[in-house]
Structure 1
């Protein structure tokens, strides 16, 4: 491991490994297979990049990295080249001549890492290249990134990943490391089975991201709630807003822009060039908010995303965890904010029920949705619930909405019994089923045209729930549907039906406890952020250091544009802030700063000193 530590310091500019990195790296350098579960921002890439460097030094040749996204390949190869590592990618952005040149470099042993998509790795041509390397003993390792994509139970299943099982049989003896930030027990089993990693050592790091503050609010006017959240907590900062539909994405982006937020839409229906242009702006510019469907995000390495917001409920906890994990990769405070309502529950249930999937698969999806609904309805620590889903025990965090401001709880059992009784009596009277709005009108005694049309003012439950607000009753319905005590018939205008689970509530055998409605998290401690243009990492700098930081950022922006790379790949904000704080006067002073390896010291050290000298 002394060599691995030297590589960490000399190439990447860091003094020590984090968490399980050292153990994983030692295992893979020694030729072992591994399944690595590590949270976003935990340093997964180093777990194969350092073994690739070490094994090449030992004569093992080139490492092949399977990556699902072109943008991710481009940025990771760019970052490696900036650090002095010989890396390349093979994907559709290269013309025939460029691709042939990469292949020649590969066969000549000039590359430490080669990135390629799973579809390419399993083509006859690519396999032929790998066969040649394998015969010569020049195939170092396989790194399969975003390994959860192999699982039908995962949140981003990609069938092409399953073909990667051939790597085990065809290239026996070449170590394989599969990596993901998100996988519950079912997904892990699928990864092991389909990638034939039965003998691989499993490394499961803590899923906790303590710098992320989780908050879930009841959906009232979600666009207004979102706007207030951004204006109050994250004005001028980078963020991601997830929406369920393409139409909603464009509506939210337009609304935010009209309110002065620098927002861009991203979804699969946009032209590929537009998507790429928007993604590039998000990665390269400061303070851009990306409004997107889940088509956006995998592999996004931008470290200074200060918030991830959901205005629609995700499908499961894995998806929610993966998406929220894109915030705060730099370890600084970030927010995971979600607005959640009755319509979300109805829509997600409907999508599962209408799916053509086998019943066993639907049942698994319902179980995953139930876990997410339980998280949304929780009155105790969100983080404890989230980590428990991944099999990790924890204590209340003190950094989620429920910990910061424990919600008031009210007993909705009687209201639930009234609602279920109303549904039963309506069906008995008319032989018909109705939606939530009409049922609440009956219970609250509202004299509407529809109530009069069906004679529902004659029902014994008409008006007996007048003391409950519509908002309270929506909360009761939401929980009844979430727990299976009510069913939604999507084929009949989302009408509500009693289920076998209704009986226990009607008989008073099951209590229905609900949190008091809140539209924004209360009792928050506003973070000290500095000015709108100052990243959180630099907020604590004094006046002169702030001036140095701004000058360094301007210099970095020019360099990044010249290299066609995101600015954080040249140096992350944390490195610039450390330089600004220390005001080094020599290359020797720069060498000790985290994030500055030998190649970057050689390439940029003199320029950095020039920037600082100009301000002296």
Structure 2
């Protein structure tokens, strides 16, 4: 092992620290989780591998520990500057010699980092893929002693992934120019097709694949029918997450701006974030979200990957993502600290129509469009399922789960199903007899017998389907139309804006050969009652004295973070503060036993934390 700052002075080579001893000394963690230990051992021994592990599941330790245990510097390829900055700050705080090499550095700063690398003075170096692929950087790496290459967010290498980055394709050079340096690729989301491409692109053929459970039991999933999305979102935040940090995803820049403004008017501190904003504004908004408590960021998908904020209590979607992978990746930014969090989405027929139109009008190949449609259909299936959301989500990634999880809307308030065959026949007949070129609003007018100007001008009030749907409300008909699209009996017409056309399967429905079972919207009031009765499954009871101590600790942490110019969680995570409040240590050895307190944290903050506990006990 190289003489890292984490090793004791004069340690002999035959007394190298073990993975567990470094885990305890540097990161303050008493044990590994899941497959972490096996992965660390495999990479430390020089092996390549692909790691699929959910956000918050401990992927970083899978390459950070081997880099500390092997000779040389670990090179981490990361796509976003924010992630590099925060991880490096946290590592330095733990006593690890870490640095970044990206566009934020001046020439002199970059040159200093390069000298450190060649001199063997770094344990970990974070590099953007664009920087790594330059001839200068590749030549630099050939002069350095390298412990490993870690390719984070490895799904970016795949054209089938939800966040393809062309620059990632060039990373195949790592296997070609550095064949003896172990490579570890890591991602939180990758279906079978994406995994295959990662293996091919990064030269991992024959290497083991470590797949952890995709389950995030602390996240509660809820998908509601979109009626008045702005008001629904405001109520969701005000009722369940007032004063807490969250992310709201919208599809367009305009909707991001409108939604952020509406939340501010409602008294919720919200900031917009999208690629159309000035870079300085984006950076300022991101810093406020990361460093301040209780800020809500409203963003396009340009925001999120690489944001290591552990206390995001909710992720909300006002528009349908493109795939289950994207949904899982984005919702996984909630509750990274393991505490209860929510993934909430408002969804309607217009979302399916919009996403389908975007696919049809894209410049991608026919194969790309076909795969995109399949991914959209899978996500719509998740939105429409009457069963457990978690089981459906995990099943997509090939993981078996129980029939119910007890922590999603469908489990808390199971939706009823009804035989909608006759209703389906009426709506399909209406779409057919009006020419298969009208959207759901016009079809509902015809079904409800509304003699609107448009209905009359087209003489649709003379059709046999006019007024045959009076037994149902407009809201109910919209639900029927949405589910018929989800079931594949209707499809949005790319040539007729918003128009709905019958598919081949619609014939068997019209002839009565196929039974159509539809789901009723869950009783949201009943779900709220169940939620209140159950409470938060992952929340530990805290007495008044413990809550007061946590508040004191957070105040101290905020002041320390401001003094150092880093996010609060770089100092200590919420879970560590909770551990201190529960253990109430009055001596350094007792504080060292709290998970998250490593040797350097104890050295930096031990006296202050013990003083705070003693003051709280004396109060």
TM-score normalised by structure 1 residue count: 0.95
Question: How many angstroms apart in 1 are the aligned matches of 2:224 and 2:256?
Answer: 20
Aligned residue among 107, 110, 117 for 2:118: 107
Answer whether contact 1:401 1:521 (CA < 8 A) is retained.
Answer: no
Q: Report the counterpart of residue 407 of structure 1 in structure 2.
A: 415
Match of 1:560 in 2: 561
Q: Number of aligned residue pairs: give it.
A: 600
Structure 2 counterpart of 1:364, from 357, 361, 371: 371
Cα 1:528–1:108, aligned 2, differ >3 Å: closer, same or farther?
Answer: farther
User: Structure 1 residues 390-399 or 417-426, which shifts more?
Assistant: 417-426
After superposition, residues 133-282 of structure 1 pair within 5 angstroms as 133=144, 138-282=145-289
**Map of 2:43 onto structure 1:** 28
Match status 1:523 vs 2:523 = no
What secondary structure does 2:376 align onto?
helix
* 1:424–1:548 Cα change, 3 Å: closer
User: 1:498-539 deviations in whole A, cap 9, x for unaligned?
Assistant: 222321221222222221135847323446999xxxx99997
1:150–1:191 Cα contact (<8 Å) kept: yes
Deviations 1:92-130 (A, max 9, x none): 111101000000011100000000111111100000001
- Contact 1:63 / 1:112 at 8 angstroms: preserved in 2? yes
1:81–1:254 Cα change, 3 Å:
same
- CA 1:537/1:386 → structure 2, altered by over 3 Å: closer, same or farther? closer
2:511 aligned partner: 507
Structure 2 residue 17 is matched with structure 1 residue 16: no
9-18 or 483-492, which moves further after superposition? 483-492
Instruction: Tell me if 1:342 matches 2:349.
Output: yes
SS of alignment partner, residue 178 of structure 1: strand
5+ residue gaps, structure 2: 1-15
* Alignment of 1:436 onto 2:447: no
Q: Is the 8 A contact 1:444 1:464 kept in 2?
A: yes
Q: Which residue of structure 1 aligns with residue 496 of structure 2?
A: 492
* Contact 2:218 2:538 survives alignment (8 Å): no
Within 5 Å, give how 1:418-433 maps onto structure 2: 418-427=426-435, 433=437
Summarize deviations over 1:55-89 as a string: whole Å, max 9, x none: 0xxxx211100000001000000000000000000
Which residue is 1:48 aligned to? 63
Instruction: Tell me by how many angstroms 1:450 deviates.
Output: 1.1
Aligned partner of 1:481 in structure 2 is 485
CA-CA distance at 1:2 after TM superposition: 6.6
| Structure-1 separation of matches of 2:613 and 2:438 | 70
Partner residue in 1 for 2:392: 385
Root-mean-square deviation (CA), in Å? 1.8
**Matches of 1:518 and 1:354 in 2, distance apart?**
34
Shift, 1:332, TM fit: 1.2
Identify which of 78, 88, 104 aligns with 2:89.
78
Partner of residue 4, structure 2: none
TM-score (norm 2): 0.94
> Taking structure 1 as reference, are residues 218 and 519 closer, same or farther at Cα in structure 2, changes over 3 Å only?
farther
Contact 1:220–1:519 (Cα < 8 Å) also in 2: no
Q: Is the 8 A contact 1:19 1:205 kept in 2?
A: yes
Question: Structure 1 unaligned runs (5+)?
Answer: none
How far the C-alpha of 1:569 sits from its partner, in A, is 1.1
Preserved CA contact (<8 Å) 2:340 2:538 = no
C-alpha contact (below 8 Å) 2:52/2:211 kept by paired residues: yes
Give the 3-state SS of the residue equivalent to 1:467 in structure 2.
coil
